[in-house]
Structure 1
Amino acid sequence: MRTGEGIMKERLLFVWKIPSFPILFLANFIFGLSMSFFAPFSSLFGIDEVGMSNIGFGLFMTIMAIGGVVISTIIAKKSDMQLSRKKILIFTSLTGMLGYIGFAFVRDYVLLAIIAFVLLGSAAASVPQLWAYAREALHHANVPKEQAPFIMNVFRMFFALSWTVGPAIAAWLLAAIGFKGLFLFVAASYGIGLVVILFFLKDIPKIATVKKGVSTGVASYVRKPHIFGNLAAAMLLAAATSIHMLNAPQFVTKVLGGNELDVGLIFSVPPIFEVPMMIAVGMLATKLDNGLLIRIGFAIAAIYFSLFFFVNEPWQIYPLQILSAAQVSITSGIAISYFQDFIPQAQGTATTLYMNSTQIGNTVGYLMFGVLAEAMNYGNVIIIYAIFAIIALVCLILFGKEKQSANKSASFGMD
């Protein structure tokens, strides 16, 4: 009789043997590492290094987010219709490398905003396109559809692995060589990703083409009530998360009296727990309704943000990060498969639709952070984004019933 550990090893070995997946795991880790070097320290860069005001920094991050939404949406439509995903990934890796080289040397607000919109906005398409490629690779490998949530969670796990070391390494680099050196390391990460994709990733055919005369516009999908409701919830949680991401470093360094190393360690704790949690959640996703799991994840997020308000020492944040890991393991782990099932005939559009809803949420969060941080102290900002997370949970619960109704008649949005 096989033990649970034996079954787990067998399933992980099966995932590793899927064609192209070892290379995809590596690319996913590299992209995650690049993001983990910048995201936790973005507010320290804008406010402390460049000298932006809270509102100016919020506007700057908004410009970068809008660039990501606009450019990745255009790329998504092209990728589902005609362009090779490999060529797109080569392009986005190159723009990421050039963008962070610009961040290393430029300190002018306007030039930084242009770099953020054009280059890093293009680089934002890397992750959704890589994940869409992974879902298509599963199709070509004839992997059963019910196994997709588990496999995609393992795939997402490699993204989380990068965050177990990225913020701590970034904190060390920041202390040793400053933001210039840090951003050059980020650029180098994108450069490595470019080489990996260019020489080791194969082109694969699209899994389905949309029939002529059928609308492929984003609006045609968003108009479906169950899709709109879930995207609205995702947007609200993303807004709360982005405010938290920008506010936490300022809260730790300016209210709690911590330093950059504290920030790096705080952002490194959740991924340590995310790795085993994502495997567990992936296995649960093959047996339980993904909608139920998503609602549990949103509930944990609301609790986590609410408890953050009661912190008065940096070390108290560490145990709370386990809750952060739990909610990320669910909301980020199975969300991709959850939304891809809405539009199975257009994987790139489905993935990007979800990603863009979170990007729009990020945009709202960036603007809100700038305004809120200017009007109140960093501690009170926590109350606002905790409320955002609670509203997101309520929205998801209400529209979850609509999605179940849609399932009976439309099979997750398929006409």
Structure 2
Amino acid sequence: MKRLDRMIHVQAKLISSIKNRTSLVWKIPTFPILLMLNFMFGLATSLFIPFSSIFGLDEVGMSNVAYGIFMTIMAIGGVVISTYIGKLSDRNVSRKLILIVSSVAAIAGYLGFAYVRDYYILCFIGFFLLGIASATMPQLWAHAREVLEQSDVPKKEVPYVMNVFRMFTALAWTVGPAFAGWILVVMDFEGLFMLVSLGFLLCIFAIFVFLKDEPKKVDMTGKQVMLGKFMLRPHIFANIIAMFLLHAATTINMQNIPQFVTKTLGGTEAHVGVIFSVPPVFEVPLMIMFGIMATRWDLGKLIKLGFFFSFAYFFLIWNVTEPWQIYPLQILSAANVAITAGLAVTYFQNFLPKEPGTATTLYMNAQKIGSTLGFLLFGYFSSLFDYQNVFTICILFTGIGFFVLLFFGQERKHKKVAEF
């Protein structure tokens, strides 16, 4: 009886803690608007990315090789341009202005995708316009971090608040792909891209009316981070490599599961649908839970735990023999996403707290490059191995990532690091 009372007390305390922390989020100035913008930007991404191969191969008529080059060009544009914009925003350029300009570029880019079918023009649009548009998400996250720095939120609560912020991206991905599928049936790609453009137009209105530039704590005018030297710090480089490997493995997995279920396990598209529907259900509560843990635990330890979850997930899925056996394993996938996607941005921002735009962009570029390589590696490895053994690549990548973080991911405290 005492044990039951203790459990009830712990649960009540946890619920009260979540309630109090969540109410804190809504009281932060302009934060509800930032949450809405984060959802809208995430929704735009979730409407296009799951159907990008259908657009390239079926709608435009690209070959597999041409499509791979097209996606690579888009990724390079996003990495190069958003990195440059991130450095500008951390010095003396208005982050609000950058959000408006990048959103305008997104509207122009997606309108181009709606009507243009020439391969080379699409490559230009993907590299230049959507390269500029790719700065919207990291700049919004950096702005959110600056809002937190200027607010009365205790420093220890910042990881939790940023995880709630990331949660709205996850919410967008729970509804975006299914909604996009319905739009494609009714309105085809022209209607889909028009809808995405309309979403960015609404975001521009919200940014213009409700957001204000947060004062930068340090005057960065004329003071540039030597990004190459920063990246080559051993613990920074280790974290970049680990995130790169994780996102490559995750992308390979997303491409491989439908083929593995239908062609190796003898399942159906319905099984695949259930498999992809399970993680979002658990991601949101897990993000809240790990966000609370991040206020008490070292973020580095939680990131390592996320990598361990990912390694265990791929190892277990490699050994399944029936489609239904994958369902409970998706909870491990949700736990990995809740940590490595939810807390990783704050984790990287802590490496360079005076320049959150550069730090956020650095993390997201590691994610983008890893995902791009994942698409290419899936096509290559699935031609060499059966679909079940493709998971061994994911096991290898996440295992190496976990090892790198475990032994090289922590800064050596006894070494004095020179300021740049």
TM-score above 0.5, yes or no:
yes
Q: Report if aligned partners of 1:269, 1:322 keep a CA contact under 8 Å in 2.
A: yes
For the 8 Å contact 2:90–2:358, the answer to whether it is kept is yes
Contact preservation (8 Å) 2:247, 2:374:
yes
Q: 2:65 aligns with which of 55, 59, 68?
A: 55
- Which of 73, 82, 85 is the equivalent residue of 2:95? 85
**1-side partners of 2:399 and 2:262: how far apart?**
27
- Pairing 1:342–2:351 present: yes
Q: CA deviation at 1:140?
A: 0.9
Q: TM-score, normalised by structure 1?
A: 0.89
> Match of 2:314?
305
Provide closer, same or farther for how the CA distance between residues 305 and 54 of structure 1 changes in structure 2, counting only shifts above 3 A: farther
Shift of 1:382: 3.5
Aligned twin of 1:386 = 395
Residue from 101, 107, 110 that aligns with 1:100: 110
Instruction: Output the CA distance in 2 between the equivalents of 1:314 and 1:90.
Output: 45
Amino acid at match of 2:50: P
Is the CA contact (8 Å cut-off) linking 2:33 and 2:206 kept in structure 1?
Answer: yes
Deviates more, 1:230-239 or 1:379-388: 379-388
Please give the residue correspondences for 1:392-403 in structure 2 after superposition, counting only pairs within 5 Å: 392-400=401-409, 403=410
For 1:32-71, list aligned pairs within 5 A.
32-71=42-81
> Structure 1: how far apart are the matches of 2:378 and 2:142?
31
CA contact (8 A) 1:274 1:328 kept: yes
Q: CA deviation at 1:186?
A: 2.1
How far is 1:82 from its partner? Answer: 1.3
Contact 2:43 2:173 in 1 (8 A): yes
| 8 Å CA contact 1:150, 1:286 repeated in 2 | yes
Are residues 284 and 294 of structure 1, via their aligned partners in 2, closer, same or farther at CA, if it must alter by over 3 Å? same
| 1:372 partner amino acid | F
Query: For 1:234, which of 225, 239, 243 is the aligned residue?
Result: 243
Q: 1:369 to 1:120 in 2, by over 3 A?
A: farther
Q: 1:382 to 1:97 in 2, by over 3 A?
A: farther
* Identity score, percent: 52
CA drift at 1:173: 2.1
Contact preservation (8 Å) 1:39, 1:245: no
- Counterpart in the other structure of 2:4: none
One-letter code aligned to 2:159: P
Structure 1, 126-135 or 170-179: larger mean CA deviation: 170-179
Name 2:185's counterpart in structure 1: 175
Give me the whole-angstrom Cα distance separating, in 1, the residues matched to 2:62 and 2:385: 17
Q: 1:149 aligns with which of 159, 172, 184?
A: 159
Aligned-partner residue type, residue 330 of structure 1: I
Q: CA deviation at 1:207?
A: 2.6
Q: Is 1:162 the equivalent of 2:169?
A: no
Q: Which residue of 1 aligns with 2:85?
A: 75
Deviation track 1:224-271 (CA, whole Å, cap 9, x = no partner) reads 111111111011112112333344456567776745x87666544322
Larger radius of gyration: 2
TM-score, L = length of structure 2: 0.88
Distance 1:81 1:125 in 2: 15
Aligned to 1:405: 412
**2:298 aligned to 289, 295, 307, which one?**
289
Matched, 1:198 2:208: yes
* In 2: Cα distance, 1:252 partner to 1:178 partner: 28
Report Cα offsets for 1:54-112 as digits up to 9, x if no partner.
33322221111111100001101110111111111111112222222222223332222
Give the C-alpha shift of residue 340 in structure 1.
0.7
Q: Over aligned residue pairs, what C-alpha RMSD do you find?
A: 2.6
Q: Is the 8 A contact 1:75 1:125 kept in 2?
A: yes
Unaligned runs of 5+ in 2: 1-8
Q: What residue identity is the alignment partner of 2:253?
A: H
2:38 aligned with 1:5:
no
Q: Which residue identity does 2:126 align to in structure 1?
A: A
Secondary structure at 2:90 match in 1? helix
Q: How many residues align?
A: 409
Distance 1:167 1:309, change over 3 A: farther
Whole-angstrom CA distance in 1 between matches of 2:299 and 2:157: 12
Distance 1:108 1:241, change over 3 A: farther
Q: Mind listing any 5+ residue stretches in structure 1 that lack a counterpart?
A: none
Do the aligned residues in 2 keep the contact of 1:54 with 1:371 (CA within 8 Å)? no
d(CA) in 1 for partners of 2:132 and 2:323?
Answer: 36
Asked if 2 retains the 8 angstrom alpha-carbon contact of 1:65 and 1:362, the reply is: no
On the 8 A contact 1:150/1:285 being kept in 2, the answer is: yes
**CA–CA distance in 1 between the matches of 2:116 and 2:261?**
27
**Larger CA deviation: 285-294 vs 388-397:** 388-397
Larger CA deviation: 66-75 vs 264-273: 264-273
CA–CA distance in 1 between the matches of 2:34 and 2:49? 22
Distance change in 2, residues 1:101/1:247 (3 Å):
farther
Q: Secondary structure at 1:405's aligned position in 2?
A: coil
Deviations 1:168-227 (A, max 9, x none): 212222333333322222222222222221222122212323486x65121121121111
Q: Which has the higher contact order (CA 8 A, sep 6+)?
A: 1
In structure 2, the residue corresponding to 1:81 is in which secondary structure? coil
1:116 corresponds to which of 119, 122, 126: 126
Distance in 1, matches of 2:18 and 2:113, equals 43
Residue of 207, 231, 235 corresponding to 1:222: 231
Amino acid at match of 1:152: M
Distance in 1 (alpha carbons) for counterparts of 2:330 and 2:106: 29
2:3 is aligned to none
CA contact (8 A) 2:87 2:224 kept: no
- Equivalent of 1:327 in 331, 336, 351: 336
* Matched letter for residue 118 of structure 2: D
Corresponding position: 1:139 with 2:149: yes
Contact 1:43 1:250 in 2 (8 A): no
8 A Cα contact 1:56 1:370, kept in partner? no
What is the Cα deviation at residue 39 of structure 1?
Answer: 1.8
Structure 2 residue corresponding to 1:26, chosen from 27, 36, 52: 36
Amino acid at match of 1:227: I
Instruction: Give the stretch that moved more between structures: 332-341 or 171-180.
Output: 171-180
When residues 373 and 199 of structure 1 are mapped into structure 2, their CA distance, relative to the original with a 3 A threshold, is: farther
Residue of structure 1 equivalent to 2:364: 355
